[in-house]
Structure 1
Amino acid sequence: MPVHLFRMGLGPLFRGRLLLLVHTGRHTGEPRRTALEVVETGWVEGRRTWTLASGSGCRADWYRDLRESPQAVVQVGRGYHAVSAHFLRPEEGGELMAGYALRHPRAARQLCAYMGFGVDGDPVDHRRAGAAISFVVLVESAP
């Protein structure tokens, strides 16, 4: 359903919490569209970034497609951005989740629970969960 809302121009309804990833299918070479929840946004060297967590780990089709072809486009709100995918190492994912849990404790618990990790608020639990989650950072391409 969110993909259709983005296509109808209603992306701003998601207030940046969801983005539409337009990526290349690894088998067909055809464009694929997937609506994904944004874990975190930021800036690196003057370029926007969007961090995503794969709920299905490295088995998710969109994740595998980006591994094959890391160049993609995202729609956030009404804006389109060319991006390049960067895959976090487990220790980077652990640090990301520990920081996220400090800023958003409830959302971190929900994300960990959704992905099958029991956490009780201990930073070690969040690091362990984050190390096991497949995170992708989409970095806006240089103009």
Structure 2
Amino acid sequence: MRTPIWIYKARAGALLGSRLLMLEHIGRKSGARRYAVLEVLDHPDPDTYLIASGLGRKAQWFRNIRANPEVRVYAGSSAPTAATARILDQDEADRTLAAYRSRHAGTWEKLKPILEQTLDTEVTDTGTPVPIVELRLS
């Protein structure tokens, strides 16, 4: 579904709320700009967003940021902002996901079985198979 991408490109992302952002990344093979609309797990300060790869390490956007961590973030209706992506280590990822589960228990109840089916593994409190990425705005 491409509609959310056009909403962000039109700088109307605020219509989608503060729990989503659009990530612009560069294709690791094509060099072309690519876009993914993702849920924000946390926004601990004005320059930091934490997002997850629900498809695990095989998601194209995740593979692309591993190859080139220089990205742009579209949040709300603001102009895109340059950022650097950093994949969190296991302890950081576990803490981030635990905090998300605590804040959004109802969403987590619905999301967890989908993640487990998609990733073909159990999602537990430690050793999460869900990669978490920090986006630090420049």
Alignment TM class, shorter chain as reference: 0.7 to 0.9
Q: CA deviation at 1:107?
A: 2.2
Aligned to 2:133: 136
CA distance in 1, matches of 2:111, 2:70: 26
Aligned runs of 1:87-106 on 2, under 5 Å?
A: 87-106=87-106
- Percent same amino acid among aligned pairs? 31
Q: Does 1:27 align with 2:29?
A: yes
Q: CA deviation at 1:108?
A: 2.5
Q: CA deviation at 1:2?
A: 0.8
User: What is the RMSD computed on CA atoms of the aligned residues?
Assistant: 1.8
CA distance in 2, matches of 1:28, 1:9: 26
Gaps of at least 5 residues in structure 2 are 118-122
Higher share in strand: 1
- CA pair 126-101 structure 1, distance change in 2 beyond 3 A: farther
Gaps of at least 5 residues in structure 1 are 118-124
Q: How many residues align?
A: 130
CA distance in 2, matches of 1:35, 1:70: 17
Q: Does 1:17 align with 2:15?
A: no
Q: Output the amino acid matched with 2:130.
A: I
CA distance in 1, matches of 2:6, 2:114: 24
Q: CA deviation at 1:126?
A: 4.6
Runs of 4+ in 1 over 4 A off after TM superposition: none
Aligned to 1:127: 125
